[in-house]
Amino acid sequence: MNKVMLIGNVGADPEVRYVDQGVAVARVRLATTERGYTLQNGTQVPDHTDWHNVILWRRLAEIVEQYVHKGDKLYVEGRIRYSSYDDRQGQRRFKTEIWADNIELLSPKMQNNPATETSQYASSSSSVSENPTMVNSNDNTQSSVNGQNASMTSVDNNDAEALPF
């Protein structure tokens, strides 16, 4: 079984490209942090942050392009993909990516600026809720988006070579 679940903060606005037949592909840089702690002997262990490259296809890519921004908190569920390539100097390079099957937008609505809240969330809820489920709680807006569908399962390894990242 190959399953990954991450909760982290988006490090930059998503990069979205369109490949064959207008299929959207997005790349999101996601930071996850293990909080530091103090050992019994008093030694401080600092925070540790890892950066993950998350790849999203089709509708998920379109959704993150529209609704995900730098600093947003995001839950990602997917699988690890490893690949390698030769750089311009002929050196073999390896990369690890998380191919997302499901995401949840965890960032709360803006409370202080009604104009920002309206433009960022109110207008987005109508277009996002066409396919996925939109759940509104008292203080948080949380979107659950399931990107796994019949067309997603047909992605083969040749598509990975077409990625513009």
Task: Assign domain 4-161 to its CATH superfamily.
Answer: Nucleic acid-binding proteins (2.40.50.140)
What pLDDT was estimated at residue 109? 64
* Per-domain residue ranges of the chain: 4-161
pLDDT per position as a tens digit, 102-126: 999 998 765 444 444 433 333 333 2
pTM value is 0.64
Q: How far apart are CA 24 and CA 3, in angstroms?
A: 23
Per-residue burial over 6-27, b if 16 or more Cβ lie within 10 Å, else e, is bebbbeeebebeeeeeeebbbb
Task: Please state the φ and ψ torsions of residue 110, each to the nearest 5 degrees.
Answer: -70, 125
d(CA 135, CA 85): 41
Most distant pair of Cα atoms in the chain: their distance: 60
Q: How many C-beta neighbours within 10 Å does residue 131 have? A: 12
pLDDT (tens digit per residue) in 27-61 = 999 999 999 999 999 999 999 999 999 999 999 99
